[in-house]
Structure 1
Amino acid sequence: MKNLIRLDQYEQAGYSRGRSGAYVLLWWLIQGTLFRFSLHNMYAWRSFLLRLFGANIGKDVLIRSTAKFTYPWKVSIGDFSWIGDHVQFYSLDEIEVGSHCVISQNAYLCTGSHKINDPAFSLEVRPIVIKDGAWVASDVFVYPGVILHEMAVAAARSTVLKSIPANEIHAGYPAQYLRERFAKEVMA
């Protein structure tokens, strides 16, 4: 079978990290030391470090020290949201998390992938939006371009390929509709 993939032709000409290489390296150094080894309850310290590097972090946000942010200047997190242990913000594009959201441990928010039919395997990026009250449960993978609407839930260990409508729980691989999160009367 003929090999159609040409990784030697890979390039990112149209992509911008949004900051210089030196700035990116400085962030990775800070993230791997001052951020990573901060004590459990030093949430304000971690929010401060993220803000220092351009993240928009709301009031009383709880971010665990093992969470990782590729480019914090492309991340926005609303008030009172929780970011669990080992959450990955692969923020090649914008990631917007609303207020009162939970992103549980080991979740992976992935804004970048590659063009599968392109022999040069070109990079493609799309933003992720997690709206107010939504929950990305443990070990969930969220694909580029996905929106979790208000109060939506991506159940544990799911792979979210498509946006989840408001107040719906989706589960599985790929994530499919399971049921409503709250009764319609509660949501009114």
Structure 2
Amino acid sequence: MKPVPIPPPSTAHKLKRLVWQALWLVLYRPSPVPLHGWRRFLLRTFGAQVAGDAHPYPSAKVWAPWNLTMGAQSCLGPHSECYNACMVTLGKRAIVSQHAYLCTPSHETDDAFTLIGAPIVLEDCAWVAAKAMVGPGVTVGRGAVVGAGAVAMKDVAAGKVVVGNPAREVSESELGASGGTVIRQADQ
């Protein structure tokens, strides 16, 4: 999906974000790792749709919980960042690994530097590996993998593994095919 202009935030929106950031700092961030239920409660209180067995880690930063959906057994891993000015959807068993970055907004490269954005979707069993980045409007297909440190600015097809900057396809994934996690090299 192509990014579109995002209107400037209202005062009410800014206050809501301020309250969320304060609660994240005081109640969410210091919570022990096993207390996923507590963090699910806090996210839901601010409008997130979070499955009862999702795993938001305490150091995972969520910019706007009201723009977050986490499916069953999905995970926002340690030190991951979800900069979700637009909607971010994690499907069932979708994983965002440590230090990964989901970024729905960007800017036009004109003199106005207009804020733009588009939703990010991680379909069922998708995996965004450590220190990878997923940009505005990207869909990571079912069972697809964005490899460690990769920068995905375009959609990743279901069952594919992408690496590098910019991300390029290197192999196929069997994630989600039968519940396994085996990755094999694609024919070259």
TM-score (ref. length: structure 1): 0.87
Amino acid at match of 2:156: I
Q: Displacement, 1:40?
A: 1.4
Confirm whether residue 123 of structure 1 aligns to residue 115 of structure 2: yes
* Cα distance in structure 1, aligned partners of 2:138 and 2:88: 10
Deviation at 1:21, TM superposition (A): 2.3
Q: By how many angstroms is 1:15 displaced?
A: 3.9
Cα 1:44/1:162, change in 2 over 3 Å? same
Q: Which runs of 4+ in 1 moved over 3 A?
A: 15-19
**1:181 corresponds to which residue?**
173
Deviation at 1:186, TM superposition (A): 6.1
Q: Does 1:168 align with 2:168?
A: no
Of 88, 102, 109 in structure 2, the residue corresponding to residue 109 of structure 1 is: 102
Aligned-partner SS, 1:156? coil
Q: Distance in 1 between matches of 2:8 and 2:153?
A: 23
- C-alpha deviation, 1:123, in angstroms: 0.4
Q: Considering only CA atoms, is the larger Rg found in Structure 1 or Structure 2? A: 1
Structure 1: any 5+ residue segments left out of the alignment? Answer: 1-11
2:146 is the alignment partner of 1:154: yes
Code of the residue aligned with 1:68 in structure 2: it is K
Residue 68 of structure 2 is aligned to residue 98 of structure 1:
no
Quote the offset at 1:59 in angstroms.
2.2
1:182, distance to aligned residue in structure 2 (A): 2.3
2:129 pairs with 1:132: no
One-letter identity of the residue aligned with 2:88: I
- How far, CA to CA, are the matches of 1:75 and 1:182 in structure 2? 26
Work out the number of aligned pairs and report it: 174
Q: Which residue of 1 aligns with 2:47?
A: 54
Contact conserved, 2:149 with 2:164, CA < 8 A, in 1? Answer: yes
Render the CA deviation track for 1:73-113: whole Å, top value 9, x for unaligned: 00101011121111111001010110111110001000000
Q: 1:150 to 1:109 in 2, by over 3 A?
A: same
Quote the residue 1:72 is aligned against: 65
In 2, are the aligned partners of 1:149 and 1:166 still within 8 Å (CA)? Answer: yes
Query: Bigger CA drift: 69-78 or 12-21?
Result: 12-21
Whole-Å separation in 1 of the counterparts to 2:135 and 2:52: 27
What is residue 25 of structure 1 aligned with on the other side? 18
Two-structure CA RMSD over aligned residues (Å): 2.0
What residue number does 1:88 align with? 81
Match of 1:42 in 2: 35
Q: Pick the aligned partner of 1:142 from 134, 148, 153.
A: 134
TM-score by length of 2: 0.87
Q: List alignment gaps of at least 5 residues for structure 2.
A: 180-188
Whole-angstrom CA distance in 1 between matches of 2:159 and 2:52: 24
Quote the Cα distance in structure 2 between the aligned partners of 1:18 and 1:149: 36
> Aligned partners of 1:43 and 1:18: how far apart in 2?
31
